[in-house]
């Protein structure tokens, strides 16, 4: 944070010290926040900051909200972004950078591959700036969050942004609220929600959609399997739009939060929407404003999810489920430590894990620690059977494990497309990233422990998979004991030889999982016994590339299989690498990834992508940077002044991702001697390796 002295002289000294620390690459300075308006109060301040950023390799977050740096300030920071490959988050809210500043930043993002979050709210970028950013979104594969709230652009700018979202493969969070994009702008949203497979949060508050726009959106929402949070407040929505949303929610099980406050929804329309929800709904938050009491909405959602309503002032707790409420059906998996049944609980299909070891408490603790995540299996409650065994009740994956599903496709003479397989890999990576962020290691990542909730071998938008089976999950840097049962075919050399596990050993297993995906679920080292497979791994042998595997995918596998753990990527790095591969495969398979359409993508011909290899020779030029003078602003006549972004959830909701787990040790073929976890002891395998 920039120091706030009692005088301009003290602030200047504090700013000077901050700049020097940036130039010196002070490792402790990873965040700079201009905490009060006017912290940057001269052209020289901004020039110095831009030059320091070009050479800095440490700073991760820069927050200049409300500094009024103006269009030329935006250009200066754009120049800095061309030379900076470290900055991850940039907040320029309320800086009046106008069209020119936004256009310069958009051009810089064609070259910058580091920035993941950009906040340009309240900058009057208008249609021209929105179109420039739209062109960049078609190319950029690193930006994850973009906030364009209240920027005075209308239907032209909104249409350009939403058409760009159709082909963007990275953006997960988009806020274009407070801009009057209207029905015409929203028309492009239908294609965006049908084709985009990564967008999770969308804020359309105060965009003047009205019923016709919402009806278009609802049609796409029914077929979307990615979006988790949608804000449609203050859009003049009446009964027609509400009915359309109700129909969409019958078919959508992914959306978790829907905000509709501030609309003209009457009591009957609101109850019709509530009545349309089924037990398959994913909604955990529904805001209908004053149409229905909040408590009534919460009770309906709780009943649908079979989770008791939260007591007033209390917190969510896992329910203890009486075993007699569980109607056990067929066994869907059996392993050395648990048996898994499909079951009915109050007419809801669930999976019941009856554990025979003492790991129930620790496995349940892992479920609770990971929380809700779209790529991790959800724990619904715990129980005890009549024999005193611990029982876990989880959501049921009706399609079983990904290993079984891909194997069944082979028997049918079919196969999944490369984009579908890559979508599976990306979702598994998201789950593993959550596990790593919680300081945990899975230790049993394999295709058999990935559960399938939706799947189409030809349509990546229909993929919904979750990581499962936390029976071996431990704290990071765990050394296993002689009682552990181990999946040697998926284990890294350091795990086999030294019993050492870390995020990087999970990354090794992820590489093997990639091999499973592109081998149509073959068993790794299938021609060898478990001990020989482990021996081959330690000796440096790696799984061979299959005929169906693209070269780029196999290169990624080999990165995961580096002998030295430190040379393997992390899961956050794998996420970026997989996104890049998605761009590569989608461009090579255009007909598969993006069907032909009569929708025309808007590209601003006046903005050319800069030469990213060309050295910027203007960094030392003196340039007058007016302190945000926007006297020449010509507002968009069809857009009202929306003011500042609202507080709270109306403004910029945070993304919360969750990773699934499952009953899983089984839901596959635990009776298979090649792929079930072998009961080898650590000492035994090392002795065998030594003898051979």
* pLDDT: which is higher, 640 or 503: 503
Determine what percent of the chain is predicted with pLDDT higher than 90.
Answer: 38
Same domain, 58 and 206: yes
Same domain, 38 and 126: yes
Torsion over CA: 188, 193, 197, 200 (sign): positive
The mean per-residue pLDDT over the stretch 132-146 comes to: 93
**405 burial class (0-12, 13-18, 19+ CB within 10 angstroms)?**
buried
Classify residue 134: in a domain, yes or no: yes
Same domain, 84 and 184: yes
- Considering the candidates 45, 444, 484, 670, report the single residue annotated as catalytic: 444
Take residue 184 and report the two structure tokens written for it.
């015409």
Classify residue 606: in a domain, yes or no: no
Classify residue 100: in a domain, yes or no: yes
Same domain, 154 and 274: no
What does the DSSP 8-state code read for residue 650?
A: G
Same domain, 674 and 525: yes
Same domain, 447 and 568: yes
d(CA 240, CA 243): 5
Q: In 3D, which of 281, 288, 279 has the Cα closest to residue 256?
A: 281
Question: Sorting pLDDT into bands at 50, 70 and 90, what band is 675?
Answer: very low
Take residue 32 and report the two structure tokens written for it.
């700079």
- pLDDT, mean over the chain: 78
The mean per-residue pLDDT over the stretch 51-71 comes to: 88
pLDDT value for 85: 86
For residue 327, pLDDT over 70 is answered with: yes
Question: Sorting pLDDT into bands at 50, 70 and 90, what band is 612?
Answer: low
d(CA 74, CA 627): 11
Contact (CB, 8 A) for 371 and 354: no
pLDDT value for 179: 94
pLDDT value for 280: 65
The mean per-residue pLDDT over the stretch 651-667 comes to: 35
DSSP line for 49-116: HHHHHHH-SS--EEE-TT---HHHHHHHHHHHHHH-S---EEE-TT---HHHHHHHHHHHHTT--S--
For residue 175, pLDDT over 50 is answered with: yes
Contact (CB, 8 A) for 524 and 489: yes
Question: Sorting pLDDT into bands at 50, 70 and 90, what band is 272?
Answer: confident
Give the lowest-confidence range in 81-95, 461-475, 568-582.
Answer: 461-475
d(CA 58, CA 62): 11
The mean per-residue pLDDT over the stretch 18-41 comes to: 73
d(CA 214, CA 187): 9
Question: Sorting pLDDT into bands at 50, 70 and 90, what band is 468?
Answer: confident
Write out the residue range of the structural domain in which residue 486 sits: 402-595+662-691
| The total number of structural domains that make up the chain | 4
Q: In 3D, which of 470, 471, 377, 456 has the Cα closest to residue 424?
A: 456
Take residue 342 and report the two structure tokens written for it.
């499909």
Contacts of 378 (CB under 8 A, 6+ apart): 367, 372, 394, 395, 658, 660
Find the CATH number of the domain harbouring 551: 1.10.510.10
SS3 sequence, 226-283? Answer: CCCEEECCCCCCCHHHHHHHHHHHHHCCCCCEEECCCCCCCHHHHHHHHHHCCCCCCC
pLDDT value for 632: 37
Same domain, 204 and 62: yes
For 364, the 3-state DSSP assignment is helix
For residue 70, pLDDT over 80 is answered with: yes
For residue 660, pLDDT over 60 is answered with: no
Same domain, 55 and 184: yes
Encode burial over 468-498: b for 16+ CB neighbours within 10 A, e otherwise: bbbbbbbeeebebeeebbbbbbbbbbbbbbe
For 333, the 3-state DSSP assignment is strand
Q: In 3D, which of 397, 401, 367 has the Cα closest to residue 382?
A: 367
Find the CATH number of the domain harbouring 119: 3.80.10.10
Classify residue 628: in a domain, yes or no: no
Q: In 3D, which of 102, 121, 294 has the Cα closest to residue 203?
A: 121
Classify residue 685: in a domain, yes or no: yes
Same domain, 294 and 413: no
Look at residues 379, 395, 411 and tell me which one is the last residue of a structural domain: 395
For 286, the 3-state DSSP assignment is strand
* pLDDT: which is higher, 134 or 678: 134
* pLDDT: which is higher, 325 or 654: 325
DSSP line for 118-186: EE-TTS--HHHHHHHHHHHHTT-SS--EEE-TT----HHHHHHHHHHHTT-SS--EEE-TTS--HHHHH
Contacts of 652 (CB under 8 A, 6+ apart): 119, 121, 147, 149, 175, 203, 645
Take residue 427 and report the two structure tokens written for it.
């979702």
Look at residues 283, 309, 335 and tell me which one is the last residue of a structural domain: 309
In tens, the pLDDT along 503-551 reads 999 999 999 999 999 999 999 999 988 889 999 999 999 999 999 999 9
For 692, the 3-state DSSP assignment is coil
Contact (CB, 8 A) for 128 and 99: yes
Question: Sorting pLDDT into bands at 50, 70 and 90, what band is 387?
Answer: confident
Find the CATH number of the domain harbouring 345: 3.30.200.20
Same domain, 427 and 480: yes
Same domain, 380 and 277: no
Take residue 582 and report the two structure tokens written for it.
């998605």
Residue 456, CA distances (Å) to 285, 321, 409, 424 in order: 28, 34, 11, 11
DSSP line for 413-472: T----HHHHHHHHHHHHHHHHHHHHTTEE-S--SGGGEEEEE--TT-GGG-EEEE---TT
Torsion of CA 562, 563, 566, 571, to 10 degrees: 40
Gyration radius (Cα) of the chain, Å = 27
d(CA 98, CA 81): 18
Residue 586, CA distances (Å) to 169, 244, 371, 409 in order: 9, 32, 32, 23
Upper half-sphere CA count for residue 524 (Cβ side, 13 Å): 31
For residue 352, pLDDT over 60 is answered with: yes
Contact (CB, 8 A) for 284 and 305: yes
Classify residue 501: in a domain, yes or no: yes
- Asked about 469 being catalytic, the answer comes back as no
Q: In 3D, which of 236, 158, 241, 242 has the Cα closest to residue 202?
A: 158
Of 62-71, 269-278, 659-668, highest mean pLDDT: 62-71
d(CA 546, CA 629): 61
Look at residues 367, 395, 423 and tell me which one is the last residue of a structural domain: 395
Classify residue 573: in a domain, yes or no: yes
Upper half-sphere CA count for residue 196 (Cβ side, 13 Å): 31
d(CA 146, CA 160): 14
pLDDT value for 597: 38
Of 272-276, 290-294, 425-429, 477-481, highest mean pLDDT: 425-429
Lookup result for tokens 């430190």: 566
Contacts of 207 (CB under 8 A, 6+ apart): 158, 176, 177, 178, 179, 180, 181, 182, 185, 186, 213, 235
Number of residues that this document lists for the chain: 692
Torsion over CA: 515, 516, 519, 520 (sign): negative
* pLDDT: which is higher, 90 or 621: 90
* pLDDT: which is higher, 602 or 112: 112
Classify residue 583: in a domain, yes or no: yes
For 322, the 3-state DSSP assignment is coil
In tens, the pLDDT along 227-259 reads 999 999 999 999 999 999 988 888 888 888 899
10-18 long-range contacts, CB within 8 A, separation 24+: 11/39, 11/41, 15/39, 15/40, 15/45
Same domain, 185 and 206: yes
In tens, the pLDDT along 302-324 reads 666 544 443 333 334 567 889 99
pLDDT value for 536: 93
Question: Sorting pLDDT into bands at 50, 70 and 90, what band is 99?
Answer: very high
């Amino acid at each position: 944070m920039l120091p706030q002295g009692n005088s301009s002289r003290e602030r200047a000294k504090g700013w000077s010290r901050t700049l020097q620390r940036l130039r010196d690459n002070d490792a402790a300075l990873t965040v700079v926040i201009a905490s009060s308006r006017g912290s940057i109060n001269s052209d020289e301040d901004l020039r110095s900051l831009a030059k320091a950023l070009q050479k800095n390799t440490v700073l991760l977050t820069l927050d200049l909200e409300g500094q009024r740096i103006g269009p030329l300030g935006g250009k200066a920071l754009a120049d800095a972004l061309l030379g900076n490959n470290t900055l991850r988050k940039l907040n320029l809210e309320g800086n009046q950078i106008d069209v020119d500043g936004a256009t310069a930043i958009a051009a810089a993002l064609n070259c910058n591959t580091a920035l993941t979050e950009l906040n340009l709210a309240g900058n009057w970028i208008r249609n021209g700036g929105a179109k420039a950013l739209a062109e960049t979104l078609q190319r950029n594969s690193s930006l994850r969050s973009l906030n364009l709230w209240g920027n005075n652009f209308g239907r032209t700018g909104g249409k350009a942004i939403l058409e760009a979202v159709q082909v963007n493969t990275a953006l997960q969070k988009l806020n274009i609220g407070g801009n009057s994009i209207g029905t015409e702008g929203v028309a492009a949203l239908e294609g965006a929600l049908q084709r985009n497979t990564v967008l999770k949060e969308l804020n359309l508050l105060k965009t003047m959609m009205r019923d016709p726009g919402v009806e278009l959106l609802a049609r796409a929402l029914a077929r979307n399997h990615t979006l988790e949070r949608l804000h449609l407040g203050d859009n003049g929505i009446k009964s027609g739009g509400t009915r359309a949303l109700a129909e969409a929610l019958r078919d959508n099980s992914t959306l978790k939060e829907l905000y509709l406050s501030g609309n003209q929804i009457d009591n009957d329309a609101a109850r019709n929407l509530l009545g349309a929800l089924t037990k398959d709904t994913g909604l955990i938050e529904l805001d209908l404003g004053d149409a229905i009491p909040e408590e009534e909405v919460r009770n309906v959602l709780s009943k649908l999810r079979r989770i008791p309503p939260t007591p007033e002032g209390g917190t969510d707790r896992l329910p203890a489920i009486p075993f007699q409420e569980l109607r056990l059906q067929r066994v869907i998996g059996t392993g050395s430590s648990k048996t898994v049944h499909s079951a009915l609980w109050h007419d809801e299909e669930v999976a019941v894990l009856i554990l025979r070891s003492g790991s129930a408490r620790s496995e349940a603790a892992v479920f609770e620690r990971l929380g809700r995540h779209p790529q991790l299996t959800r724990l619904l409650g715990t129980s005890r059977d009549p024999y005193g065994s611990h029982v876990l009740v989880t959501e049921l994956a009706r399609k079983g494990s990904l290993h079984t599903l891909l194997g069944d496709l082979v028997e049918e003479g079919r196969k999944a497309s490369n984009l579908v397989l890559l979508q599976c890999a990306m979702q598994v990576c998201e789950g593993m990233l959550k596990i790593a962020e919680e300081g945990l290691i899975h230790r049993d990542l394999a295709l058999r422990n990935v559960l399938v909730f939706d799947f189409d071998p030809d349509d990546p938008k229909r993929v919904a998979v979750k990581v499962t089976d936390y029976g071996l999950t431990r704290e990071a840097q765990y050394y296993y004991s002689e009682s552990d049962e181990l999946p040697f075919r998926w284990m890294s050399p350091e795990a086999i030889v030294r019993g050492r596990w870390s995020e990087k050993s999970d990354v090794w297993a992820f590489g093997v999982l990639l091999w499973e995906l592109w081998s149509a679920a073959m068993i790794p080292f299938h021609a060898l016994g478990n001990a020989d497979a482990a021996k081959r791994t330690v000796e440096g042998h790696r799984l061979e590339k299959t005929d169906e595997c693209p070269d780029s995918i196999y290169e990624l596998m080999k990165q995961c299989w580096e002998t030295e753990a430190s040379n393997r990527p992390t899961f956050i790095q794998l996420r970026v690498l997989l996104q890049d591969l998605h761009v590569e495969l989608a461009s090579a398979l255009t007909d598969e990834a993006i069907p032909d359409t009569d929708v025309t993508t808007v590209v601003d011909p006046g903005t050319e992508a800069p030469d990213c290899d060309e050295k910027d020779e203007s960094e030392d030029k003196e340039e007058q940077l007016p302190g945000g003078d926007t006297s020449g602003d010509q507002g968009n006549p069809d857009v009202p002044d929306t003011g500042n972004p609202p507080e709270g959830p109306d403004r910029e909701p945070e993304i919360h991702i969750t990773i699934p787990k499952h009953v899983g040790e089984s839901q596959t073929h635990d009776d298979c001697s090649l792929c079930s976890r072998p009961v080898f002891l650590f000492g035994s395998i090392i002795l065998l390796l030594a003898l051979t």
